[in-house]
């Protein structure tokens, strides 16, 4: 069986000691192994800070952008192979796998173009020049400059391809070397991408630890940045880690999220806006088997449309074939790991005690095309809660699988915004309405609780990627439970990897510094 190596200090190293086995989650057939330790991580940090940082410092934004374009091209060249790996190791259908792999390439290409636009400057302006003296001669200017440490990227299991690329694109364009750590269970896609990327990048620009983190965080220091996508308990471990606290290491966290979808009272389910709402709910439940941080988990529907919604969901979800995702007729694969299945089953059991079943009971399913008793399958589940604002589990615990809870309301936009807030901070929430006044009231009250608000309507329906798609041009992150982090959002995505400095002096000198 293949033993996946890590790419550290400019060479591939297989590590040593006990091993973890990566499996196909549909069949439980072993695919590869990783060593749980035995890497010289101190040397990897030194290599990034000395060699990687120095190499990237010699390049302009435009040149770093060219590097990102070459990485996107490498993905395109190996697209079929990467998709096959995602199907085998991630439990992805082909469509799920494309979402991850193509999403990674698209994000790299987006930041490649941004690099070309930023050109050959070293500093980025933050706002306009300011007069701080008695006359215009004495000026002030905020600037962003490259940080000198290492960007440590720790990713979740659900997007091994996109997760690697979206963080890498921003850090490399900003000029920081990266040590990327994909989640162990689904590391095959990220491992192959690193094999493709490493020869295209300057020495030390990208290293990757494949396998458990071990002592990774013990080596961070001032100037470093850590970006974690993962669960809230891992986030807590990082927030309180001695080295991170001691050196005030910049920490960006993308964690759990109880994203809401709201149907406004003006929308009939048979309208274009209603169809968009239904398509988004069903897509978010079933795409990647609901294992998307941005997926809709809670739905609020006007009481008078509740029955129509249940009927429509039963009809659509009843047509979803669950099974081996390598089969063309399968629309939803398994959860990614045995642990994920155990967590989702426990989450549904908690939910079942406080809600009624609308579809799928507690997720029992007989998958097609897999040996009996094998695979980490859970079927789509819709539950109904009569009191939307209760302390019930659907407002407290993210179930990272194909599960939504629906609750009725009066149609009041401020109540809808309070329902969004009841998730205690989310990555994204969506509202579907063609009434501008309703939308304005909702947005004003809901915006503080969401990193992104998706406003579904008839006019944008034909072009909509749905709320579950994180776009490189818009912020990805959210307050509170969602971790408080921010990624992407065009040039904003670079700021995590740069230091903002206020300059004051002769206004003409300040102007010349920005080219």
Q: Give the range of 4-12, 70-78, 107-115, 211-219 binding ligand NAP by CB under 6 A.
A: 211-219
Q: Which is nearer to ligand NAP, 23 or 255 (CB)?
A: 255
Query: Any idea which residue has 């199907």 for tokens?
Result: 87
CB 162 within 8 A of CB 187: no
Q: Which of residues 412-431 bind ligand NAP (CB under 6 A)?
A: 427
Nearer to ligand NAP, 344 or 446 (CB): 344
Binding of ligand NAP by 229 (CB under 6 A):
yes
b/e 254-292 (16+ beta carbons within 10 angstroms → b): bbbbbbbbbbbbbbebeebbbbbbbebbbbbbbbbbbbb
Applying CB under 6 A, which of residues 223, 231, 480, 505 lies at the interface with ligand NAP? 231
The answer to whether 433 contacts ligand NAP (rule: CB under 6 A) is no
Regarding 398 and contact with ligand NAP (CB under 6 A), the answer is yes
Closer residue to ligand NAP in complex, CB, 73/495: 495
* 486 belongs to the binding site for ligand NAP (CB under 6 A): no
Residue 144 or residue 157: which is nearer to ligand NAP going by CB? 157
Return the residue of 63, 234, 441, 469 that touches ligand NAP, per CB under 6 A.
Answer: 234
Instruction: Choose which of 63, 121, 122, 237 interacts with ligand NAP (CB under 6 A).
Output: 237
Question: Is residue 284 a contact point for ligand NAP (CB under 6 A)?
Answer: no
B/e letters for 160-176, b = 16+ CB within 10 Å, e = fewer, are bbbbbbbbbbbbbbbbb
In angstroms, what is the minimal distance from the CB of 400 to ligand NAP? 5
Q: How many residues bind ligand NAP (CB under 6 A)?
A: 26
**Binding of residue 60 to ligand NAP (CB under 6 A):** no
Should residue 230 be labelled a site residue for ligand NAP when binding is judged by CB under 6 A? yes
155 binds ligand NAP (CB under 6 A): yes
Closest CA to 256 of 395, 351, 114: 395
293 a catalytic residue: yes
- Residues contacting 333, CB < 8 A, separation 6+: 25, 26, 87, 91, 92, 93, 96, 289, 322, 323, 324, 325
> Would you tell me how many other CB atoms lie within 10 Å of the CB of residue 245?
11
> Where do we find the tokens 């941004």?
114
Residue span 170-199 as binding mask against ligand NAP, x where in contact by CB under 6 A, dash where not: -----------x-xxx--------------
Whether the CA torsion 397, 403, 408, 412 is positive or negative: it is: positive
Whether the Cβ atoms of residue 277 and residue 321 lie closer than 8 Å to each other: no
Collapsing DSSP to helix, strand or coil, 349 comes out as: helix
Determine if 400 is a binding residue for ligand NAP (CB under 6 A): yes
* HSE, side-chain direction, 13 A CA sphere, residue 63: 12
Q: How far is the CB of 293 from ligand NAP (least distance, A)?
A: 3
Rounded to an integer, what distance in angstroms lies between the CA atom of residue 103 and that of residue 101? Answer: 5
Helix (H) or strand (E) holding 348: helix 338-352
The overall longest dimension of the chain from CA atoms, in Å, is 81
- The DSSP string of 411-453 is --HHHHHHHHHTTSSEEEEEEE-S-HHHHHHHHHHHGGGEEEE
Site mask, ligand NAP, residues 124-153, x = CB under 6 A?
Answer: ------------------------------
When asked if residue 293 is in the footprint of ligand NAP (CB under 6 A), the reply is yes
The CB-of-257 to ligand NAP minimum distance in angstroms stands at 6
Token pair for residue 264?
Answer: 């406004």
> Can residue 259 be called a binding residue for ligand NAP (CB under 6 A)?
no
Task: Specify the residue, 34 or 332, whose C-beta has the smaller distance to ligand NAP.
Answer: 34
- Min dist. Cβ of residue 402 to ligand NAP (A): 14
The residue (of 148 and 397) whose beta carbon lies closer to ligand NAP is: 397
Judged on CB neighbours under 10 Å (0-12, 13-18, 19+), 436 is exposed
Sheet containing 124-131: which strands, arranged edge to edge? Answer: 124-131, 138-146, 498-506
Q: Which of 212, 361, 369, 479 binds ligand NAP (CB under 6 A)?
A: 212
Q: Does 158 bind ligand NAP (CB under 6 A)?
A: yes
Stretch 445-484: interaction string toward ligand NAP, x if CB under 6 A: -------------------------------------x--
Query: Residue 48 or 183: which CB sits closer to ligand NAP?
Result: 183
Name the active-site residue from 293, 398, 426, 487.
293
Contact 129, 78 (CB under 8 A): no
For ligand NAP, the closer of residues 217 and 475 by Cβ is 217
Q: Where are the alpha helices (DSSP H) in 198-325?
A: 232-239, 242-246, 272-286, 306-318
| Active-site residue, from 254, 398, 486, 487 | 254
Q: Note the residues at the interface with ligand NAP (CB under 6 A).
A: 154-158, 181, 183-185, 212-213, 217, 229-231, 234, 237, 254-257, 293, 398, 400, 427, 482
Active site amino acids: 254, 293
């Amino acid at each position: 069986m293949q033993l996946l190596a890590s790419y550290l200090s400019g060479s591939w190293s297989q590590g040593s000691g006990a091993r973890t086995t990566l499996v196909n989650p549909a069949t439980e057939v072993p695919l590869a192994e990783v060593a749980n330790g035995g890497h010289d991580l101190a040397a990897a940090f030194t290599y990034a800070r000395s060699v990687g940082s120095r190499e990237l410092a010699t390049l302009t934004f435009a040149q770093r952008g060219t590097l990102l374009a070459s990485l996107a091209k490498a993905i395109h060249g190996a697209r079929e192979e990467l998709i096959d790996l995602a199907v085998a190791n991630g439990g992805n259908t082909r469509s799920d796998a494309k979402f991850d792999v193509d999403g990674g390439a698209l994000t790299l290409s987006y930041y490649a173009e941004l690099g070309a636009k930023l050109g050959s400057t070293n500093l980025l302006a933050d706002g306009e020049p300011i007069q701080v003296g008695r006359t215009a001669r004495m000026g002030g200017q905020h600037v962003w400059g490259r940080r000198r440490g290492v960007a440590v990227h720790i990713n979740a299991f659900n997007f091994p391809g996109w997760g690697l690329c979206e963080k890498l694109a921003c850090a490399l364009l900003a000029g920081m070397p990266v040590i990327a750590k994909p989640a162990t269970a689904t590391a095959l896609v990220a491992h192959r991408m690193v094999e493709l990327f490493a020869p295209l990048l300057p020495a030390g620009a990208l290293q990757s630890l494949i396998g458990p983190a071990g002592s990774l965080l013990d080596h961070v220091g001032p100037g470093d940045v850590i970006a974690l996508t993962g669960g809230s308990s891992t986030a807590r471990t990082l927030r309180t880690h001695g080295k991170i606290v001691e050196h005030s290491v910049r920490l960006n966290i993308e964690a759990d999220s109880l994203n809401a979808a709201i149907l406004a009272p003006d929308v009939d389910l048979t309208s274009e806006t209603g169809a968009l709402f239904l398509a988004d709910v069903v897509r978010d439940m079933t795409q990647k088997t609901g294992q998307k941080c941005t997926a809709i988990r809670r739905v609020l529907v006007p009481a008078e449309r509740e029955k129509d919604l249940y009927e429509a969901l039963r009809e659509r979800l009843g047509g979803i074939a669950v099974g081996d995702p390598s089969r063309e007729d399968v629309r939803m694969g398994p959860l990614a790991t045995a642990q994920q299945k155990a967590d989702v089953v426990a989450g549904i059991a908690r939910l079942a005690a406080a809600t009624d079943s609308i579809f799928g009971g507690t997720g029992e399913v007989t998958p097609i095309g897999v040996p009996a008793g094998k695979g980490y399958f859970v079927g789509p589940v819709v539950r109904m809660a009569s009191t939307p604002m209760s302390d019930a589990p659907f407002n407290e615990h993210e179930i990272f699988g194909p599960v939504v809870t629906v609750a009725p309301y009066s149609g009041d936009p401020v109540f809808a915004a309070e329902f969004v807030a009841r998730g205690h901070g989310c990555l994204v929430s969506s509202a579907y309405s063609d009434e501008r006044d309703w939308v304005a009231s909702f947005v004003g009250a809901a915006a503080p609780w969401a990193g992104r608000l998706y406003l579904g309507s008839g006019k944008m329906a034909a072009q909509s990627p749905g709320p579950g798609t994180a776009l490189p041009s818009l912020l990805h992150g959210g307050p509170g439970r969602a971790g408080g982090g921010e990624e992407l959002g065009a040039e904003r995505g670079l700021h995590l990897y740069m230091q903002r400095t206020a300059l004051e002096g002769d206004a003409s000198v300040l102007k010349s510094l920005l080219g």
